[in-house]
């Protein structure tokens, strides 16, 4: 039976590689022997207020740190001149109409050369205008991609496909887990994630025995969680629930006596969750977003210069704000900077061609432009992504897993689940 997807309604591979992916915390300052070039403007369009702000505003904080540090090192070099970068933000409140207004302001009035966006509803709404203007824009969800949106790219976030790596880790390391139950919101993000998880669990031989999808009117999660736990699963999956929902679900699971393993896409603000539950309760939780002081992010394949220093600056400046998106929008701009310097131009189509004519320089290592098989267009780099486990109250990367072999072998299973759940 197909599940109806409801929209969220609330306020609020070629020869070369692009060099220079850097999110440095400390970069050498340049002394200018010539006059600086014109400032290059970048647009940041997302929900800075409202319910989705938790997955947008922390990303803007990261962008501001990145821009500050890159400008202190001279900026970006184009045509022999060094150009400072300016980011202009606009709050779309996760509303389509405001996203269109914001896109028009940023492109026509502010004359930005690149537009960073969040995902789903506002991205969809702004694309007809952005496509007409040949403006390159970004999303955090590859499921937003379409041949009708040729200049929309998902250059960093590999959701929901990296979810298969966590399930594969469970299959290899926890053969005792035979059943799983889901709890998540019923929207595009939740259903795309659920379809991918369902495919991965099928391949792993783990049976889904309960799916509890809730609407955005839910404020009391006690009955939601009790209904899931009543199925007596071996493992509880929080899918890609939004940060506030994760906190409330986990608090209820703790209060209702859940002691089993947990898995989900993210685990934002885990110190606050530990304070309401316990360190032991979260022990072993599998998710996909590390703290950037993890030693694995210093490995040679990682295209993220001085990750630990970036993390230190961020957490000192914005205590408690670090989460799944804190680094992602900045990483998008790091890829943009590399493409600008490779193209020797900041013009949108020049940058777009530079990005697409190279092997995708993803921050977690080698990747390839991908997406035609599912979305009809290769505008997302797919490769490695961290599998993270809570250990003694701290996220630890336990694997840097390449999702490409799984996608190549099990594409038919993935497509079947996506079609069954009306997400493609």
Looking at the predicted structure, is the pLDDT value of residue 10 above 60?
no
The confidence score (pLDDT) of residue 20 equals 43
Number of domains in the chain: 2
Do 128 and 168 reside in the same domain of the chain? no
The confidence score (pLDDT) of residue 303 equals 86
Residue 25 has φ and ψ, to the nearest 5°, of -85, -35
Q: How confident is the prediction for the chain on average, in pLDDT?
A: 91
Domain of residue 326, residue span: 16-158+295-383
Do 237 and 172 reside in the same domain of the chain? yes
Residue 175 lies inside a defined structural domain of this protein: yes
The confidence score (pLDDT) of residue 301 equals 87
Coil, helix or strand at residue 388: strand
Do 407 and 261 reside in the same domain of the chain? yes
Residue 11 lies inside a defined structural domain of this protein: no
Do 411 and 262 reside in the same domain of the chain? yes
Residues 11-66 pLDDT 10s: 233 333 344 455 544 444 433 333 468 999 999 999 999 878 999 999 999 999 99
The confidence score (pLDDT) of residue 9 equals 32
DSSP secondary structure string for all residues of 164-192: HHHHHHHHHH-TT--EEEEEEESSHHHHH
Looking at the predicted structure, is the pLDDT value of residue 283 above 60?
yes
Beta bridge partners of 367: 360, 383
Confidence of residue 358 (pLDDT cuts 50, 70, 90): confident
Do 264 and 322 reside in the same domain of the chain? no
> Other C-beta atoms within 10 Å of 89: how many?
18
CA 33 to chain centre: 39
Contact 151, 348 (CB under 8 A): yes
Contact 137, 46 (CB under 8 A): no
Do 109 and 194 reside in the same domain of the chain? no
The confidence score (pLDDT) of residue 212 equals 97
Coil, helix or strand at residue 88: strand
Which residue bears the tokens 């089993």?
260
The confidence score (pLDDT) of residue 8 equals 34
Residues 87-111 pLDDT 10s: 999 999 999 999 999 999 999 999 9
Do 301 and 286 reside in the same domain of the chain? no
Residues 121-152 pLDDT 10s: 999 999 999 999 999 999 999 999 999 999 99
The confidence score (pLDDT) of residue 36 equals 65
Which residue bears the tokens 């790219």?
153
The confidence score (pLDDT) of residue 351 equals 96
Residue 1 lies inside a defined structural domain of this protein: no
DSSP secondary structure string for all residues of 13-75: --SEE-------SS-PPPPPSS---PPEEEEEEE-SSSGGGGGTHHHHHHHHHHHHHHHHTT-
Residue 2 lies inside a defined structural domain of this protein: no
* b (16+ CB within 10 A) / e for 367-380: bebbbeebbebbbb
> Other C-beta atoms within 10 Å of 15: how many?
7
Do 111 and 181 reside in the same domain of the chain? no
The confidence score (pLDDT) of residue 89 equals 98
Residue 392 lies inside a defined structural domain of this protein: yes
CA 402 to chain centre: 16
* b (16+ CB within 10 A) / e for 113-137: bbbbbbbbbbbbbbbebbeebebbb
Residue 64 lies inside a defined structural domain of this protein: yes
The confidence score (pLDDT) of residue 42 equals 98
Q: In this prediction, what percent of the chain has a pLDDT beyond 90?
A: 84
Residues 292-306 pLDDT 10s: 999 999 998 888 878
Looking at the predicted structure, is the pLDDT value of residue 262 above 60?
yes
Distances (CA, A) of 192 to 36, 163, 182, 258, 280: 46, 11, 13, 26, 30
Do 75 and 196 reside in the same domain of the chain? no
Do 22 and 146 reside in the same domain of the chain? yes
Do 208 and 289 reside in the same domain of the chain? yes
Do 34 and 146 reside in the same domain of the chain? yes
What is the number of alpha carbons within 13 Å of residue 295 lying toward its C-beta? 1
Residue 9 lies inside a defined structural domain of this protein: no
Can you read off the two tokens belonging to residue 274? 């530990």
Residues 179-225 pLDDT 10s: 999 999 999 899 999 999 999 999 999 999 999 999 999 999 999 99
Residue 10 lies inside a defined structural domain of this protein: no
Helices (H), 78-151: 96-104, 121-132
Can you read off the two tokens belonging to residue 37? 């070039």
Q: Which of 24-28, 282-286, 353-357 has the highest mean pLDDT?
A: 282-286
Measured in Å, how far apart are the chain's first and last C-alpha atoms? 15
Looking at the predicted structure, is the pLDDT value of residue 120 above 60?
yes
CA 82 to chain centre: 30
Contact 70, 23 (CB under 8 A): no
Burial of residue 295 (number of CB atoms within 10 Å: 0-12, 13-18, 19+):
exposed
The confidence score (pLDDT) of residue 23 equals 52
The confidence score (pLDDT) of residue 2 equals 34
**Which contiguous run of DSSP H or E holds residue 144?**
none
CATH code at position 398: 3.40.50.2300
């Amino acid at each position: 039976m197909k599940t109806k997807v409801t929209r969220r309604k609330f306020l609020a591979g070629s020869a070369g590689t692009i060099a220079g992916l850097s999110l440095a915390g400390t970069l050498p300052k340049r002394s200018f022997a010539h006059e600086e070039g014109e400032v290059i403007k970048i647009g940041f369009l997302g929900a800075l207020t409202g319910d989705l702000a938790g997955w947008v505003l922390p990303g803007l904080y990261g962008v501001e740190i990145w821009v500050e540090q890159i400008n202190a090192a001279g900026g970006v070099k184009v045509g022999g001149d060094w150009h400072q970068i300016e980011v202009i933000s606009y709050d779309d409140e996760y509303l389509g109409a405001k996203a269109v207004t914001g896109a028009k302001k940023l492109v026509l009035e502010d004359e930005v050369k690149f537009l960073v966006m969040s995902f789903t509803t506002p991205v969809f709404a702004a694309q007809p205008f952005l496509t007409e203007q040949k403006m390159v824009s970004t999303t955090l969800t590859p499921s937003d991609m379409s041949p009708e949106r040729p200049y929309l790219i998902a250059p960093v976030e590999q959701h929901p496909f990296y979810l298969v790596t966590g399930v594969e880790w469970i299959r290899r390391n926890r053969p005792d887990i035979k059943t799983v139950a889901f709890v998540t919101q019923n929207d595009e993000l939740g259903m795309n994630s659920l379809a991918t998880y369902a495919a991965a669990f099928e391949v792993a031989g783990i049976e889904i025995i309960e799916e509890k999808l809730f609407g955005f009117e839910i404020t009391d999660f006690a009955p939601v969680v009790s209904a899931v736990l009543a199925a007596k699963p071996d493992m509880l999956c929080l899918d890609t629930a939004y940060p506030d929902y994760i906190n409330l679900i986990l608090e209820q699971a703790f209060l209702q006596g859940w002691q089993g393993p947990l898995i989900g896409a993210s685990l934002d603000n885990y110190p606050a969750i530990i304070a309401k539950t316990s360190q032991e309760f979260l022990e072993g939780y599998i998710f996909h977003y590390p703290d950037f002081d993890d030693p694995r992010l210093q490995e040679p394949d990682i295209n993220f210069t001085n990750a630990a220093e970036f993390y230190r600056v961020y957490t000192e400046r914005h205590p408690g704000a670090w989460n799944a998106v804190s680094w992602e929008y900045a990483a998008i701009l790091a890829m943009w900077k590399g493409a600008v310097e490779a193209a020797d131009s900041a013009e949108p189509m020049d940058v777009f061609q530079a990005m697409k004519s190279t092997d995708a320089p993803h921050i977690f290592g080698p990747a390839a432009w991908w997406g035609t098989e599912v979305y009809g267009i290769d505008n997302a780099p797919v490769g490695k992504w961290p599998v993270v486990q809570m250990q003694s109250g701290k996220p630890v990367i336990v694997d840097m897993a390449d999702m490409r072999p799984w996608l190549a072998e099990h594409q038919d299973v993935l497509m079947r689940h996506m079609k069954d759940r009306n997400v493609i």
